[in-house]
Copies of this chain bind each other. A is one copy, B any other.
Amino acid sequence: MHPTRWGDPAQAGPLPSATRELVELAFGVHDTTVAEGAALPAPGLAESVLADLRAVLGDEHVRTDDESRRLRTRGKSTPDLLRARAGDLTDAPDAVVRPGDHDDVVALLEVAVRHHVAVVPFGGGTSVTGGLVARREGYAGVVSLDLGRLTAVREIDEVSMTAVLEPGLRGPEAEARLAEHRLTLGHYPQSFEFATIGGFAATRSSGQSSAGYGRFDALVVGLTVATPQGTWELGTSPANAAGPDLRQLVLGSEGAFGVITAVRVRVRRLPAERVYEGWQFGSFAAGTEAIRTLAQAGARSGLMPTVLRLSDESETALNLASQSDVGGAAADGGCLMIVGHEGADVADRRAAVTAALEAAGGTPLGEERGAAWEQGRFHAPYLRDSMLDVGVTVETLETATFWSRVPQVYAAVRQALAGTLGERAIVLCHVSHVYETGCSLYFTVAVPGGDDPVEQWRSAKSAATEAMVAAGATITHHHAVGTDHRPWLEREIGPLGVRVLRAVKDELDPTGVLNPGVLVP
């Protein structure tokens, strides 16, 4: 992907007319000039380092050309895109290295340690929290360790219903390979088209079908990790009591402890049926209560849908206005819920969930609304590019908390965003991941870009994160820490938590070459 845009340019197109009208209504529109041809800094790696890297990988897998470096510059947060659009490519890696297998990764790390070169593991490049922007100071250079050649499906075990996948497999590729065996991961984050298995594990990704399939960290039963201290293998059983679960220390380690070179994941049978439908609730509070009922009762009675999402009043209004009018009169006002069922035979579960949602005051809007959601489920990042093209900053942030704190966290984050961005900001929210004890809250913000849109966003993000911490919510439910959330991590895990992370990092990566400045404060 290009550093200024998301995904396949063919899919991006101009702003859809309905959305454009809304944007003009709200903000006015001024097309922005995009600095596409910005120059890269000169590659800074000494020839001796490059020679050692080439000795490990061969010449063709150590790249210093502009295009290779440009495509691995930063991730896909809005500030990342804004900086690239402004011609700032200062975070470009000095080289891109492309190992072919686990042993290559181990050997590369030895070279990196020897020359004190920072190493940034790179999967799909879709980080939205600065996870690909390593600290450069004090290092002999920065290399992007692209896992794109590690794409094998190493093992399929249809008795245990597990698969061993290599980290460079992108979402669609992994699903296609599993589908050959009538299997699926069921992991569909918004970044699905580009993000990779390794990235899902390293960032504790959570997908749009998490209600049915679970978070990615819940799918992982085993890991192979290459570290500067050698190879680490974990995972002898689904669960055990052999001390702390160290798999959970690797999951979420964001390349700072090691490079994940294989994961053993739980897989399921491809669902024979999939149905998505819309529901309307009178208010976000009423919809949240309905979701909570399903999550708490559903865990034991099969009431849990595969997909369960609830937009607040603002997001519902924008969503309806920007789509052709499906659902008619019933779609006026209130809050839109998307409920999806996948499985071998979904009729019974669907009937039970329907009864529960009707009892909770919901009105069914039918499958057309569900199909519309399904069709657009990965499209938001493209829409963001189109909005940026017309000078509107769009960004997302998210959190999770226990059910009893949801109302105050929702109010506090909205207030923080409105307070810093002003009256013209649009703040939308939805719940997309539910648990028995709580749920996530995902905010989308749109605001006319000011003179310094990066700084404008930075201050809003800071206020929102402070509000989360103050309200006792997590700083991130599924976007990971990266560099953007790092200043708040100590508030989340305490000073002892930070010391523990540093101790683990020092043990596995004593010279600190792995993704320096990311995750560990």
Give A244 to B220 CA distance when docked, in angstroms.
14
Which A37-68 residues have a C-beta within 8 angstroms of B? none
Is B248 a contact partner of A499 (Cβ separation < 8 A)?
no
**A203 within 8 A of partner (CB):** yes
| Pick from B243, B404, B472, B508: contact of A519, CB under 8 Å | B243
Give A472 to B238 CA distance when docked, in angstroms.
12
Give A301 to B497 CA distance when docked, in angstroms.
38
**Oligomeric state, in number of copies?**
2
Is A244 a contact partner of B501 (Cβ separation < 8 A)?
yes
Tell me the minimal C-beta distance from A135 to chain B in angstroms: 17
Cβ of A239: which chain B residues have Cβ within 8 Å of it? 204, 206, 215, 217, 400, 433, 435, 477
Give A495 to B231 CA distance when docked, in angstroms.
9
Is B399 a contact partner of A300 (Cβ separation < 8 A)?
no
Is A238 a contact partner of B296 (Cβ separation < 8 A)?
no
A438 and B160 in contact, given A240-B400, A241-B204, A400-B240 (Cβ under 8 angstroms): yes
| Pick from B233, B435, B477: contact of A241, CB under 8 Å | B477
| Pick from B232, B403, B496: contact of A159, CB under 8 Å | B403
Give A231 to B230 CA distance when docked, in angstroms.
33
Is B245 a contact partner of A248 (Cβ separation < 8 A)?
yes
Tell me the minimal C-beta distance from A111 to chain B in angstroms: 20
Q: Mark A347-375, 1 if CB is under 8 A from B, else 0.
A: 01100000000000000000000000000
Stretch of A28-36, A279-287, A443-451, A485-493 on the interface side: A485-493
| Pick from B242, B245, B485, B501: contact of A217, CB under 8 Å | B245
**A437 within 8 A of partner (CB):** yes
Stretch of A114-122, A144-152, A250-258, A452-460 on the interface side: A250-258
Is B248 a contact partner of A252 (Cβ separation < 8 A)?
no
Is B157 a contact partner of A404 (Cβ separation < 8 A)?
yes
Is A240 a contact partner of B162 (Cβ separation < 8 A)?
no
Is B238 a contact partner of A243 (Cβ separation < 8 A)?
no
Is B236 a contact partner of A492 (Cβ separation < 8 A)?
yes
**A494 within 8 A of partner (CB):** yes
Q: Which chain B residue shows the least CB distance to A212?
A: B300
Q: Which chain B residue shows the least CB distance to A292?
A: B159
A248 and B244 in contact, given A230-B496, A300-B268 (Cβ under 8 angstroms): yes
Q: Mark A465-485, 1 if CB is under 8 A from B, else 0.
A: 000000011111111110001
Cβ of A303: which chain B residues have Cβ within 8 Å of it? 302
Give A413 to B236 CA distance when docked, in angstroms.
16
Tell me the minimal C-beta distance from A29 to chain B in angstroms: 34
Cβ of A349: which chain B residues have Cβ within 8 Å of it? 301-302
**A176 within 8 A of partner (CB):** no
**A316 within 8 A of partner (CB):** no
**A69 within 8 A of partner (CB):** no
Give A248 to B493 CA distance when docked, in angstroms.
13
A493 and B242 in contact, given A301-B343, A437-B160, A499-B507 (Cβ under 8 angstroms): yes
A residues with CB within 8 A of B: 157, 159-162, 203-206, 212, 215, 217, 221, 227, 229-234, 236-246, 248-254, 266, 268, 292, 296-297, 299-303, 306, 343-345, 348-349, 399-405, 433, 435-439, 472-481, 485, 489, 492-497, 499-504, 506-508, 519-520
A-B contacts besides A297-B344, A500-B508, 14 pairs, CB < 8 Å: A160-B437, A162-B437, A204-B241, A234-B497, A236-B401, A236-B474, A238-B435, A238-B437, A240-B478, A242-B481, A242-B485, A243-B254, A244-B248, A246-B500
Task: Provide a sorted-by-A list of 22 A–B residue pairs whose CB atoms are within 8 angstroms.
Answer: A159-B403, A161-B436, A203-B241, A204-B241, A206-B239, A206-B241, A230-B496, A232-B497, A236-B472, A237-B400, A239-B433, A241-B478, A242-B474, A243-B489, A244-B504, A245-B252, A266-B437, A301-B302, A302-B303, A302-B349, A496-B508, A503-B503
